[in-house]
């Protein structure tokens, strides 16, 4: 896991979402409230981005990120242009950024390296949104917080247990949970824990909300009294050569019926998708009444609509 920790500091020309902390806690709460309103009344916001144009850059394959951003833009009255493949293979990234800022009002980038997001934000004078990087997945975490709020009617005091790889999703969940007063327990195999600097940052934020942050190598300990159990694939895009080894290492970290039973009776199951059924979770858990994975997927649309509106107001 990369050791670099990027501090919250928006570019002078725009408010960005390079990572979760580019939104203040107040802005995060406002975004979730706005997303709820936008979900309930699509027609009310149908012209909110009329005349605005968004760049979508995809270095990685995408279903949820691409469809939900394209639909979010269209449902708000705007339009998008997209590029699939390497972003800066023919010219420097700083030149790409300064071209795109002249043509479009905001840049969404789904990339391999967080450094690509940082450089785009450094050079572009329009907002840059991280659609996924190796270090953070802030748009997914926004949808997850919205889903938890819908399921339980509150966020503060809930317990979220994440079981699996201490990856970009785990990092974003830690940072948002800590700020919203959600107790967050991360269970990974030894050596696969989340970035230590991000954990420390989450604990510092949690001290203000009195949330508890736990990192353990025991999945049953993590899910004890949990309101939600979350998992992700064991080998992310770019880690395909490690897939076989990771299946062995993570074998005891599958979210199955037994592990779900160790949480609260009303606990929900969460996954950012796509899922490898039979690996990080079972088909039975995915299809159970506890599963809210498709609510999460739907809420990518609503959370991102709120994000776009806030960044382009």
- Whether 137 is catalytic: yes
Report whether 228 contacts 158 (CB < 8 A). Answer: yes
Q: Exactly one of 66, 144, 232, 279 is catalytic; which is it?
A: 232
How many helices and strands, by DSSP H and E, does the chain display?
12, 9
DSSP 194: P
- Whether 184 is catalytic: no
Angle, helix 168-180 to helix 138-152, in steps of 10 degrees: 50
Nearest CA-CA partner of 164 in 89, 239, 109, 112: 239
Q: Exactly one of 114, 140, 201, 290 is catalytic; which is it?
A: 140
* Residues present in the chain in total: 313
The upper half-sphere exposure of residue 4, i.e. CA atoms within 13 Å in the direction of its Cβ, equals: 11
What's the CA gap between 193 and 50, in Å, rounded?
A: 44
The rounded radius of gyration (Å) of the Cα atoms in the chain is 19
Q: Exactly one of 75, 201, 246, 272 is catalytic; which is it?
A: 272
76-104 burial code (b ≥16 CB/10 A, e <16): bebebeeeeeebbeeeebeebbeebbeeb
What's the CA gap between 69 and 189, in Å, rounded?
A: 34
Q: Exactly one of 184, 300, 302, 304 is catalytic; which is it?
A: 300
- Whether 139 is catalytic: no
Q: Exactly one of 19, 64, 110, 302 is catalytic; which is it?
A: 110
187 to 106, 163, 164, 194, 261: CA distances (angstroms): 36, 5, 6, 9, 16
- Whether 18 is catalytic: no
- Whether 37 is catalytic: no
Report whether 108 contacts 137 (CB < 8 A). Answer: no
- Whether 110 is catalytic: yes
Q: Which residues are catalytic?
A: 110, 137, 140, 232, 272, 300
């Amino acid at each position: 896991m990369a050791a670099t920790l990027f501090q919250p500091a928006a570019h002078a020309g725009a408010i960005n979402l390079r990572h979760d902390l580019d939104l203040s806690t107040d802005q995060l709460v406002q975004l979730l409230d706005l997303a709820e309103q936008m979900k309930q009344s699509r027609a009310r916001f149908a012209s909110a981005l009329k005349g605005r144009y968004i760049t979508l850059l995809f270095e990685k394959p995408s279903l949820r990120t691409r469809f939900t951003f394209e639909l979010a833009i269209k449902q708000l009255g705007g339009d998008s242009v997209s590029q699939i493949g390497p972003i800066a293979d023919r010219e420097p990234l700083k030149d790409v950024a300064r071209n795109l800022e002249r043509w479009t009002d905001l840049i969404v980038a789904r990339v391999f390296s967080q450094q690509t997001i940082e450089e785009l934000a450094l050079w572009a004078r329009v907002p840059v949104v991280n659609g996924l990087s190796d270090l953070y997945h802030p748009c997914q975490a926004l949808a997850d917080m919205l889903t938890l709020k819908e399921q339980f009617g509150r966020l503060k005091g809930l317990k979220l247990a994440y079981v699996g790889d201490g990856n970009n999703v785990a990092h974003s969940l830690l940072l948002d949970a800590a700020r919203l007063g959600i107790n967050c327990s991360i269970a990974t195999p030894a050596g696969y824990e989340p970035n230590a600097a991000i954990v420390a940052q989450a604990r510092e934020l949690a001290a203000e909300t009195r949330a508890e942050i736990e990192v353990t190598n025991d999945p049953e300990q993590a899910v004890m009294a949990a309101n939600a159990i979350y998992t992700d694939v064991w080998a992310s895009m770019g880690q395909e050569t490690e897939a076989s080894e990771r299946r062995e290492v993570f074998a005891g970290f599958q979210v199955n019926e037994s592990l779900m039973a160790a949480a609260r009776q009303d606990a929900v199951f969460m996954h950012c998708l796509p899922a490898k059924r039979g690996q990080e979770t079972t088909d039975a858990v995915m299809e159970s009444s506890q599963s809210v994975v498709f609510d999460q997927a739907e809420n990518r649309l609503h959370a991102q609509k709120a994000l776009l509106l806030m960044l382009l107001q």
